[in-house]
């Protein structure tokens, strides 16, 4: 691989396939670098994959796209929480799935990439010496710290966007360590695979700038509530590098009031078989009104 090329991996089931393609499109639209994309599927999808590869590679000629299938039955014992699916846990197997890659950027499927992903790659290449993993601090969350072996005030990271030194992870048997934590503690943690990654890499991860993972809470909470200086928070909300649509309220749903929903939707709607809104029920309207209210008072 050319040193200027970037490796990016996503993992999705059939429910998040279209958002995953929207994420890929937003990423490729904002870089001139050559990007090798591996989209790992845990289920068969309706879309014709060969046609989709041709479409993406013709439109974004700086891209090389591959779809891979992974049998996630190895995780049949895992019970995900919240709106998370079992596919989220598959990232612990990336070192073996992507055995020919030394390093990769992992991206969740519910993102809007607004800045050149090459800058994130360079951040790790320049500052990540000796680190297996780089990620962004997850503000305002410490509920799993005790189980993960961390003090209450120690930082944890969000596992939705990570730069991973796969070569080092293979040498250090990272997958086995992550599997062990999930087997022993997944039933008592709240953050699924994220708890496992934080437990294994506690105090050993490279902290990336917050702009690379601007979560929904950045828009819904005041800076003092999540430990971010007011001016910095305002800048992050205006100029995020990656918007992460955390929470179950996704921008392809009618109820969503996310400030970047309008910018995201064209990518989503450009994917074959995508749907948005359609018939809106009374319950949908109630959910949207509730979300507007909770967003306004910072309780979402």
Express each pLDDT in 33-86 by its tens digit: 999 999 999 999 989 999 999 999 999 999 999 999 999 989 888 877 767 788
Most confident of 149-153, 170-174, 247-251, 272-276: 170-174
User: pLDDT confidence of 276, banded at 50, 70, 90?
Assistant: confident
- Non-local CB neighbours of 198 within 8 Å, separated by 6+ positions: 144, 148, 150, 156, 157, 159, 191
> Residue 277: pLDDT above 70?
no
Radius of gyration of the chain (CA): 19
> Residue 297: pLDDT above 80?
no
Percent share of the chain, pLDDT over 70: 95
> Residue 230: pLDDT above 70?
yes
pLDDT score at 82: 66
Going by C-alpha positions, the residue among 29, 28, 71, 65 that lies closest to residue 49 is 65
Percent share of the chain, pLDDT over 90: 68
List beta partners, residue 106: 9, 162
Report all structural domains of the chain as residue ranges with CATH numbers, in order of start.
6-297 (3.90.550.10)
259: Cα within 13 Å, side-chain hemisphere: 15
What's the N-to-C CA distance of the chain in angstroms?
Answer: 44
- Give the residue, 63 or 275, on which the prediction is more confident: 63
Distances 252 to 193, 217, 255, 260, 263 between C-alpha atoms, Å: 24, 18, 9, 11, 11
If you average pLDDT over residues 241-254, what whole number do you get?
91
| Range scoring the smallest mean pLDDT among 51-65, 69-83, 181-195, 247-261 | 69-83
pLDDT score at 293: 77
Average pLDDT over all residues of the chain: 91
The most distant pair of C-alpha atoms in the chain lies apart, rounded to whole Å, by 54
> Residue 6: pLDDT above 60?
yes
Q: Report pLDDT digits (tens) over 200-224.
A: 999 999 999 999 999 988 888 776 7
Going by C-alpha positions, the residue among 144, 12, 18, 161 that lies closest to residue 90 is 12
pLDDT score at 12: 96
pLDDT score at 35: 98
pLDDT score at 56: 96
> Residue 273: pLDDT above 80?
yes
pLDDT score at 65: 98
pLDDT score at 255: 84
């Amino acid at each position: 691989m050319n040193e200027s090329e970037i490796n990016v991996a996503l993992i999705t089931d059939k429910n998040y396939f279209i958002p995953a393609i929207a994420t890929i499109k937003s990423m490729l639209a904002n870089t001139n670098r050559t990007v090798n994309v591996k989209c790992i599927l845990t289920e068969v999808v309706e879309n014709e994959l060969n046609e989709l590869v041709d479409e993406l590679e013709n439109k974004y000629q700086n891209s090389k796209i591959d779809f891979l299938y992974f049998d996630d039955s190895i995780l049949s014992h895992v019970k995900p929480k919240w709106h998370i699916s079992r596919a989220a846990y598959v990232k612990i197997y990336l070192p073996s799935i992507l055995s020919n890659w030394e390093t990769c950027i992992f991206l969740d499927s519910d993102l809007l990439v607004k800045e050149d992903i090459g800058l994130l790659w360079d951040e790790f290449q320049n500052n990540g010496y000796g680190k297996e993993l780089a990620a962004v601090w997850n503000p305002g969350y410490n509920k799993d710290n005790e189980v993960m072996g961390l003090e209450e005030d120690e930082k944890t990271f969000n596992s939705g966007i990570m730069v991973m030194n796969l070569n080092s992870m293979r040498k250090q048997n990272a997958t086995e360590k992550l599997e062990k934590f999930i087997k022993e503690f997944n039933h008592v943690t709240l953050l699924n695979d994220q708890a496992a990654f934080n437990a294994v890499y506690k105090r050993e991860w490279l902290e990336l700038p917050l702009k690379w993972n601007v979560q929904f809470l950045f828009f819904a909470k005041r800076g003092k509530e999540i430990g971010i200086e007011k001016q910095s928070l305002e800048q992050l909300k205006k100029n995020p590098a990656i918007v992460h649509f955390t929470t179950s309220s996704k921008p392809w749903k009618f109820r969503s009031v996310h400030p970047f929903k309008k910018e995201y939707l064209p990518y989503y709607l450009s994917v074959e078989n995508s749907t948005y809104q359609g018939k809106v029920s009374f319950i949908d309207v109630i959910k949207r009104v509730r979300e507007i209210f909770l967003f306004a008072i910072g309780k979402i």
